[in-house]
Structure 1
């Protein structure tokens, strides 16, 4: 900032000195009634003033171009800078659109993940209930088997009650078969639930991987957007310096 003030002051001082010098030269030419290029003295003084103004403008531009690289680039590369700015803006708009699409995809995947997790929780609850029921049925079966064994052992000693015992055994056998049938069904159901749980777990892992990949894509696009923002800011600074 200090160098800019010094440059402006130097340009003003140089312009003032050249203006004073041109005025004095024009005055002397007018008083001496000198002729330049066979012009009248008044026209010669006017020519001196014009040349002085031209020298002031040329020296000012020369100093500015010599000391400010950004100004030179702003003057001679203005069209290129504007083209780059428009291209960068178009890319920024395209990336912003892609980012919005990726974020929508991420939201959709997150919703699917939550839905799958809820389904997995429900399957887990059903699996736990089925496991508990299977344990209960297995305990009942074990008790029935023990009772059956006890009754079979008592048959030789309780000949009078053989028929009654046989009926009870038959009933308990039917109950045992029913319980075993229910146990088999529960085992099949448990296997199906385990298969569903494994499938849902794989789906959840795949959705988590997709979610992580989408986050990485967003991060890469954000980095590219920040770079484009830096390019746009540099272009805008160059345009502002040119306008100043």
Structure 2
């Protein structure tokens, strides 16, 4: 049954009740009935009211008997009202949950923005760490080149030292030979007194030669000592460079460790970002 049909039926029922109530009241008034000690006019009014109530009651019962759907609706009105109240309460709960979820979504978005800023900071830190690592690698390569150059220079100095040692040995052998010759000449000088002048001149020459050789030997010894000092200084410089290289390698290792930690944190943040994105998708659904 539609709404308009029900409305027309109610209007017709109201008109019927009014008409029949008026007719019964007129009939009771003409008969001058008295009920409960009332006057005829009051009795007619009471009869009209009771007639209207009875007609309305019987019409309502007939309506319920004829229209099964309306009867079911009326009988289920209380249940419907209870269900409506329950739905209203659930709607209120859902609205509160929606507000809470919107607040949670706002907080999640704020946290996501913070995480994005942290990710940017981590990216910048990672870039700086890469730059530091590259710089340390370049410094390590430069130090390695310096160590190689020092090694070559050390080898050169060692070769020069060996050459000077050989030269000193040769000069020592020559000095020994000249000394033996001088002794022989002195023996000849002692044996040959008659060649004194010639022997004295030869002796003077040999002494001068000996002095010159001694000066050369002293110069060679001085150069050898200088070469030894330079070798010691180079050895100390090489050790310092090795220590610097070890320190640079340690700094590079620490930098790589920090870079790996930053990468792990970035992966964790990426996972949390994915979880937050899934949470936002569920909230939007």
Deviations 1:72-119 (A, max 9, x none): x96673223222212211111111111111112212222222222211
Q: How does 1:20-31 map onto structure 2 within 5 Å? A: none
**Which residue of the other structure, out of 107, 132, 135, is the alignment partner of 2:169?**
135
Partner of 1:122: 156
Please give the root-mean-square deviation of Cα atoms over the aligned residues, in Å: 3.3
TM-score for the superposition, normalised by structure 1? 0.67
What is the distance in 2 between the residues matched to 1:207 and 1:110?
Answer: 9
SS of the counterpart of 1:156?
A: helix
Q: Matched residues in 2 for 1:32 and 1:170: separation?
A: 154
Aligned to 2:199: 165
Are 1:108 and 2:142 matched, yes or no? Answer: yes
Q: CA deviation at 1:151?
A: 2.1
Q: Cα distance, 1:216 vs. partner?
A: 0.2
Following superposition, the deviation at residue 163 of structure 1 comes to: 3.2
In structure 2, how many angstroms separate the alpha carbons of the residues matched to 1:136 and 1:35? Answer: 133
1:219 to partner: Cα distance: 0.3
Q: Considering only CA atoms, is the larger Rg found in Structure 1 or Structure 2?
A: 2
Deviation (angstroms), 1:157: 2.1
Moved more, 160-169 or 82-91: 160-169
SS of equivalent to 1:94: helix
Residue 32 of structure 1: how far off its partner (Å): 5.2
Q: Which runs of 5+ in 1 are unaligned?
A: 1-30, 39-43, 66-70
Question: Relative to 1, partners in 2 of residues 1:95 and 1:107: Cα closer, same or farther, differing over 3 Å?
Answer: same
Give the superposition deviation at 1:210. 0.4
Asked if 2 retains the 8 angstrom alpha-carbon contact of 1:74 and 1:239, the reply is no
* Match of residue 23 from structure 1: none
CA distance in 1, matches of 2:138, 2:209: 57
- 1:235/1:145 CA distance change after superposition, 3 Å: same
Query: d(CA) in 2 for partners of 1:171 and 1:142?
Result: 16
Deviates more, 1:205-214 or 1:134-143: 134-143
TM-fit CA distance, 1:165: 2.9
TM-score by length of 2: 0.58
SS of the residue 2:190 aligns to: coil
Q: How does 1:1-244 map to 2 (within 5 A)?
A: 77-244=111-278
Quick check: 1:74–1:242 contact (8 Å CA) kept in 2?
Answer: yes
Higher RCO, Cα 8 Å, sep 6+:
1
Shift of 1:227: 0.4
Q: Work out whether residues 74 and 238 of structure 1, in 8 Å CA contact, stay in contact via their aligned partners in 2.
A: no
Structure 2 CA distance, aligned partners of 1:212 and 1:122?
Answer: 26
